[in-house]
Amino acid sequence: MSAGHLIKATHLAKNFISSVLKAGDVAVDATMGNGNDTIFMAELVGDTGKVYAFDIQQKALDETKIKLSNQSLLHRTELIHAGHEDMDQYVKTEAAAIMFNLGYLPKGDHHIVTRAQTTIRAIEKGLSLLKTNGLLTITIYHGHPEGLDEKEAVLSYVKNLDQKLFNVLYMEFINQANNPPLLVAAEKK
Ligand SMILES: C[S@@+](CC[C@H](N)C(=O)[O-])C[C@H]1O[C@@H](n2cnc3c(N)ncnc32)[C@H](O)[C@@H]1O
């Protein structure tokens, strides 16, 4: 597919994040996986910023560490082998941007997936870590068995966030087959 502006949810999420995340900021990659979002945000925060990245799979940390080292970005990151639902134990300052990319590790074990209950706890903690005008994005994959429950839980949670505190946007490619990922973006007022 040729490059356009409306390509996919992950691309749109990065566009939103790049408009808020600046040098010196703190960011959180709640689902490190293969490290693409960690690298993307490490480039934006510069040498004075920090990206905290979480995953429950050691494989994700190992692969992300290699990629960051190859790009001389490792010092801008903290790679944490823990569930994102515990992010408040590790991140002690306000964050300008937080990214969730739900589902399973591409090219990994498809049975290890994010799950509704822990995802909601993590989103709740992420929203309380966000600074004013900070942005939290959630890319939701609902084409796998656990994904449908997770999608419903996430959408019902974010729909009910107080509009005095957050602007919440939901985006969906409505003419695509095969359950394309959905995007939620929440901005703290
Ligand atoms: C779709 S992948 C993330 C892709 C990643 N952003 C990238 O750039 O490659 C989802 C990741 O979430 C991880 N995960 C599952 N449950 C988690 C949890 N409770 N806390 C943190 N990560 C979790 C999985 O191990 C998997 O690596």
Model confidence over 4-46: pLDDT tens digits? 888 899 999 999 999 999 999 999 999 999 999 999 999 999 9
CA of 60 to the centre of ligand 1 (A): 8
Cα gap 135→133, rounded to integer Å: 7
For the segment(s) 9-106+138-188, the CATH number from 3.30.980.10, 3.40.50.150, 3.40.50.1820, 3.10.50.40 is 3.40.50.150
Best of 10, 77, 99, 105 to mutate for ligand 1, by most ligand atoms within 8 A of CB? 105
How would residue 145 be classed by pLDDT, with cut points 50, 70 and 90?
confident
How would residue 106 be classed by pLDDT, with cut points 50, 70 and 90?
confident
CA of 164 to the centre of ligand 1 (A): 30
pLDDT of residue 6: 87
For the cut 90, the answer to whether the pLDDT of residue 1 exceeds it is: no
CA of 168 to the centre of ligand 1 (A): 22
Residue 6: exposed, middle, or buried by beta-carbon count in 10 A (0-12, 13-18, 19+)?
A: exposed
3-state DSSP assignment of residue 11: helix
Task: Taking residues 77-87, report their average pLDDT.
Answer: 98
In which order are the strands placed within the sheet that holds 26-29?
77-81, 50-55, 26-29, 95-101, 130-140, 182-188, 166-171
